[in-house]
Structure 1
């Protein structure tokens, strides 16, 4: 087929907020060797006997809060983005939406693409900052499947876009809706990772001494921490923030041995310091999901006000806004 297939891949979502569907989703997600990179037996015991059985009911309650008339926001926006991007890019491309875990299944999308014999495939994992647990697992899965095809087509993998001007511009467009100057402080909150996963990228560099928090570094292209700080600096510069106007922190930690500073702790500290109004960006997500709508917009809001804050506002993610559709078009057509 003369069209180029474009696969937009996100992490996934349960089929429903029921405990059974959430349990299945968590099992698929957490049994991935790149997500929990522990020795095989320890991972299986930890995930299947401890984390999934105890976490599924709690997570199901959170997904029930997240679900709306469109179902899962992440799935809804993924479908909308694929449809709008198809219109934007035209008939030379065929846009597919897939999830690494859950539906629409990445494996099924690949089977469909193989059947239709595309000559070229562009793979875009929708994770701005590269991490082994996100872009890495998507890439490994796709390459393993395609390597067994009789005809292996031309492939292009876009493995990060954390500093792409179109991505930065899209978040700056979203920021313009919130009168950035009126807030006491701005936080860029990124999804955290275990420190051991960061160190695997550059074992010879001590993260505590690395300059990535204040400047771009040569090794930073595939270092998740360096990429997060660069994203924050670029968005901040685009919307006119000084270094004193904002801070960077990390959310969704499971243990203390994850990336810090932690967003929840930072919010408490800032509330106690007399900061009353905070605006939060979440630029590791391109669509609103559990981590933005529930963790930040609800849980962190309550936490901030409990300790003396008055207003915490989440900047809406890129979702299916026109600025992001154009951004994706540029990322796909301009990336080398």
Structure 2
């Protein structure tokens, strides 16, 4: 008899509204996560509650207002649409959960128990292609914590990071391909930034990341959790699939908060590129599978303004995978393969 399963699509999260109060609540939850701002609790409390959130909440609320839709937050809405699309191909009930804000993992688990009496297993799919302490790791740990704390009766499994999975790479390439029909000078792969120290913290060998010369290109077990290496791999696989020459693309890192973050910085590169002769630019954000504040406001709106003011003539952000048919089919494949006993995509405990 087949195991009674449910599926949870896990994403980052969003405020409940664009009010400063809701944005403040969301930022407090997000930035008080010790895997996001990894300093001692008291210092983190003082930084977040006393400095960062009071300053950022009004500005972030205004930024959210520029992208908010009639249905709500783009990230939440697009994740819901992905859920609905995937549900057409999958028999097991599918719910969504956010690491921060609503709906919570507990809401998703409770809904699955209502929809699937006798639920024995939940397959959680963190919608983060690459492993990072501040994204994939914290989402998995939080989902496990809620599962254990509430003593849910079902087993909990997770899809592993999929930065190099062939079907994901194919979906990415096909999502980009139509934009290559337009004249362009360069393609910028803008990944979400993280502090360099996070690479060292997630390095299980404790001797490779940021310590070995050209560490991302020297084989090591550390690469299984190395965000920067995985970003490089995704970029190479996608550009190889599309036959894009090396001189026509580059990588940068966005959304920095403080010093010591991965470089080069996207905002700086957008100002520099026109002066280097790059006038027509395509930009994409492969760290995200759903468009959100960091893609729609930071890159599509502010990024374009910076690039054009610096002398650019054409700027286009390629949307995230969102509900791309090949992406939906990829998720369907992983769900069905894991149901059939294929453990290759399951995160090892």
TM-score, structure 2 length as denominator?
Answer: 0.90
2:238 is aligned with 1:235: yes
* CA distance in 1: counterparts of 2:217 and 2:245, whole angstroms: 12
Q: Which runs of 5+ in 2 are unaligned?
A: 338-344
- Aligned residue number for residue 110 of structure 1: 109
* CA distance in 2: counterparts of 1:304 and 1:17, whole angstroms: 27
- Aligned residue number for residue 341 of structure 2: none
- Aligned residue number for residue 249 of structure 1: 252
Segment of structure 1 superposing worse, 171-180 or 48-57: 171-180
- Aligned residue number for residue 277 of structure 1: 280
TM-superposed CA distance for 1:159, in Å, is 2.9
TM-superposed CA distance for 1:332, in Å, is 3.2
Let me know the Cα RMSD of the aligned residues: 2.0
- Aligned residue number for residue 330 of structure 2: 327
2:104 is aligned with 1:101: no
2:222 is aligned with 1:223: no
Aligned residues: 334
Moved over 6 A (4+): none
Does structure 2 conserve the Cα–Cα contact (< 8 Å) formed by 1:274 and 1:308? no
C-alpha change, 1:302 and 1:232, in structure 2 (3 Å) is: same
- Aligned residue number for residue 47 of structure 1: 48
Q: Which runs of 5+ in 1 are unaligned?
A: none
TM-superposed CA distance for 1:192, in Å, is 0.2
Q: How does 1:144-223 map to 2 (within 5 A)?
A: 144-148=145-149, 152-179=153-180, 182-202=183-203, 203-207=206-210, 209-211=212-214, 213=216, 217-223=220-226
TM-superposed CA distance for 1:101, in Å, is 1.2
TM-superposed CA distance for 1:210, in Å, is 4.6
CA offsets per residue over residues 148-207 of structure 1, 9 Å max, x none? 455643332113111111211111111122026731111110000011111112231252
Does the residue aligned with 2:13 lie in a helix, a strand or coil?
A: strand
* CA distance in 2: counterparts of 1:224 and 1:81, whole angstroms: 25
- Aligned residue number for residue 24 of structure 2: 23
C-alpha change, 1:288 and 1:216, in structure 2 (3 Å) is: farther
CA offsets per residue over residues 7-42 of structure 1, 9 Å max, x none? 111010111111111111111111111111101100
Does structure 1 conserve the Cα–Cα contact (< 8 Å) formed by 2:216 and 2:223? no
Does structure 2 conserve the Cα–Cα contact (< 8 Å) formed by 1:184 and 1:276? yes
Does structure 1 conserve the Cα–Cα contact (< 8 Å) formed by 2:7 and 2:93? yes
C-alpha change, 1:233 and 1:180, in structure 2 (3 Å) is: farther
TM-superposed CA distance for 1:267, in Å, is 1.8
Does the residue aligned with 1:283 lie in a helix, a strand or coil?
A: coil
Does structure 1 conserve the Cα–Cα contact (< 8 Å) formed by 2:4 and 2:118? no
Does the residue aligned with 1:121 lie in a helix, a strand or coil?
A: strand
- Aligned residue number for residue 263 of structure 2: 260
CA offsets per residue over residues 100-139 of structure 1, 9 Å max, x none? 1111122222234456441111111111101111111121
Does structure 1 conserve the Cα–Cα contact (< 8 Å) formed by 2:94 and 2:112? no
TM-superposed CA distance for 1:70, in Å, is 2.4
